[in-house]
Amino acid sequence: MTDAPSRLILDEYLPYRLSVASNRASGLIARAYQARFGLTIWEWRVIAVLGEAAPLTAQGVCEATAMDKVTVSRAIRALDQRGLVQRRRQAADRRASDVSLTEEGARIYEEIAPVALDHERALLNGFSSEERSQLMALLQRLADRAARLGEPG
């Protein structure tokens, strides 16, 4: 491995930096979605994955969104009540339901996706293509590493 700082300075501490960057970016986007579509960030994530690949069970949504199952359950219920998703009990396993976007949900997905991408572009404005992929790759490695450190114990 390589050297790492030996003295603690919050502003140079990776988990802190990560948290600040994430909170600012998420906050920005959360506010936009709330104001414009009345969606929480979790509801929007569920719509996003269902827009990519439906149907999914709640469990499938958990895996695809890295959200906790309680959060997913609540988001799905809220979306169901608003008529943006529909649930159908699986014949094979009656504990589980297939969840998919309704027509209106799909309409919202089509409307939201470009807005989401615009936000991403705005955030990454000024980053070269190479910097972007570096950033994504580094974040991926970091998340994997944190997951492995957390899981076993």
Partner DNA sequence: TGAAATTAGTTGCAAATGATACTATTTTCC
Partner DNA sequence: GGAAAATAGTATCATTTGCAACTAATTTCA
Residues found near a copy of itself in the complex (CB under 8 A): 1-29, 31, 45, 48-49, 51-52, 64-66, 113, 116-117, 119-129, 131-132, 134-136, 138-143, 145-147, 149-150
**Would you give the end-to-end CA distance of the chain in angstroms?**
23
Q: Which among DNA, a copy of itself, none contacts residue 132 (Cβ within 5 to 8 A by kind)?
A: a copy of itself
DSSP 81-127: HTTSEEEEE-SS-TT-EEEEE-HHHHHHHHHHHHHHHHHHHHHHTT-
Nearer to DNA, 7 or 94 (CB): 94
- Phi and psi at residue 7, to the nearest 5°: -120, 145
> Does 74 engage in binding with DNA (CB under 7 A)?
yes
Nearer to a copy of itself, 25 or 83 (CB): 25
Residues recorded for the chain: 153
Nearer to a copy of itself, 47 or 97 (CB): 47
Name the minimum Å distance from CB 94 to DNA: 4
Q: Whose CA is closest to 37, among 139, 134, 115?
A: 115
Query: Mask of contacts with DNA, 93-132, x by CB under 7 A?
Result: xxxxx-----------------------------------
Asked if 86 and 80 count as a contact pair (C-beta separation under 8 A), the reply is yes
